[in-house]
Structure 1
């Protein structure tokens, strides 16, 4: 497969996965902002997806509608849904002969839904949750179509590597930011609503209730998001799938490069698999998450050097 084609598959999937994570986070946090008893802040969401920009936070002024407008349609925001679906569509267009017509139509429909001139007005004047739900369903339709229609070849492997790499990085960022807030506000450690909203924003609330019977506790939330192999948005589940789909790229012609990256993935996989909630606490959660994130970025860099260098 041409490096240009492989890179387009990879980045198409990363942009779609990132937009999915942002939409789910916006939906739960908007609901939280309406229900919050204590003072609510959008700062964690902005820090995860736009960095710690003090000027931006001052400009948005913790206004829920302003944050939604910036995160969904902000032209100057590289991680706005509008900008990411545009980039995803451009990547899909460059490999249009390698994807199914149904998948292209799904992506096109999502693009036109986001680019609808009335979308911003509906976000500002109507119920934003119903608008966000429409966009989330477009992504679910896209993923379902990709699953049932895409050929099980190299293109799909690159798509899934991109998806799970992006998903694991998002899970780490969310967990790191949320637990980091506990350092400045220790009361959050026992705030059930705080952890419930975190679980809902990452789609893990129902599984948590089935897995842990003693109520919502911060340590169990950490364990679910990092170590639970049955949770499709956990770090270990994502890394296991990166390994699974990377194995399918093995060929005699690229054994040297393959082994280097396979070693990186396997080392990270073992590091997480042989960790426990107790060992993570001993190392320190922030340090543990930082190490995993650095390893994920290193895997991404290696993929770029060995597979996408000429793209």
Structure 2
């Protein structure tokens, strides 16, 4: 496979996964901003999801509708949904002959849905949740189509590696920002709604209720999001899948590069597998999460160097 093709497949998948994480976080936090009796802040969401400048962020961060509009449609924000999906579509267009026709049509429809003026009307005049649900369904349609139409070969492997690398970074970012917020406001540690909204934004609320009977607690949330092998958005689940799909790319043509990257993935896998909530806290949770995220970035950089010709 050409390095250009592998890169486009990988980034296509990363962009779609990033959009999914941002949309789900927006939906849960917008609902929270309408229901909470305490002062609500969009700062954690903006810090995770936005790449825009501070002036623009300051102008919108106290108005929930404006924040949603900014994170969906602002062309000056590199992480806005419209920019992300435009990039995903450009990558898909360049590899159309390598992906299923149904998948291209699905992503193309997602792109045109984001550009539909009705979405902006829902956000400004009606109910932003309606607009967010429309877009979330487009992502779900994309994943269902990819799962049922894509061949299980190199193409699927590069797409899956991109998906799970992006997902693990998002989950770790979310945890880090939420626990940093506790340092600034210790009362959040016992705030049930705080942990509930975090779990809902990651899709882990129902699994948490099944797994922990003693109610919401910071340590249990940390354990679920980092160490639960059955939770699709946990760090260990994502890294296990990165390892699994990367092993399928083994080739004698680039065996040295393959072994070096496999070593980095295996080391990261072991770092998480043999961690516990206690050991994370002993090391310092923020530093631990930063180290794990740096390892993920290293894997991404090595993929770029070895497989994508520094594209």
TM-score (norm 2): 0.98
**Residue pair 2:122, 2:130 contacting (<8 A) in 1 also:** no
Measure, in 1, the Cα distance between the counterparts of 2:9 and 2:120. 29
Instruction: In structure 1, list runs of 5 or more residues that go unmatched.
Output: none
Equivalence for 1:62 = 62
Measure, in 2, the Cα distance between the counterparts of 1:165 and 1:227. 16
Measure, in 2, the Cα distance between the counterparts of 1:154 and 1:96. 15
Equivalence for 2:287 = 287
Q: Map 1:114-153 to 2 at 5 A.
A: 114-153=114-153
Equivalence for 1:160 = 160
Q: Map 1:165-244 to 2 at 5 A.
A: 165-244=165-244
Cα deviation per residue 1:89-141 (whole Å; 9 max; x = unaligned)?
A: 00000000000111011101111100112221221111111110110011001
Considering only aligned residues, what root-mean-square deviation do their CA atoms show, in Å? 1.1
Structure 1 stretches of 4+ moved >6 Å? none
Measure, in 1, the Cα distance between the counterparts of 2:286 and 2:53. 21
Cα deviation per residue 1:216-260 (whole Å; 9 max; x = unaligned)?
A: 101100110000000000000000000000000001111110000
Equivalence for 2:3 = 3
Cα deviation per residue 1:29-85 (whole Å; 9 max; x = unaligned)?
A: 000000111100001000011259543332114100100110001111101110111
Measure, in 1, the Cα distance between the counterparts of 2:310 and 2:100. 25
Measure, in 2, the Cα distance between the counterparts of 1:75 and 1:51. 11
Measure, in 2, the Cα distance between the counterparts of 1:250 and 1:169. 24
Query: Residue 295 of structure 1: CA displacement?
Result: 0.3
3-state SS of 2:231 partner? coil
**Alpha-carbon distance change, 4 to 32 in structure 1, aligned in 2, over 3 angstroms:** same
**Alpha-carbon distance change, 85 to 124 in structure 1, aligned in 2, over 3 angstroms:** same
Equivalence for 2:308 = 308
Equivalence for 2:299 = 299
Measure, in 1, the Cα distance between the counterparts of 2:241 and 2:186. 35
Measure, in 1, the Cα distance between the counterparts of 2:53 and 2:153. 41
**Residue pair 1:92, 1:104 contacting (<8 A) in 2 also:** yes
3-state SS of 1:47 partner? helix
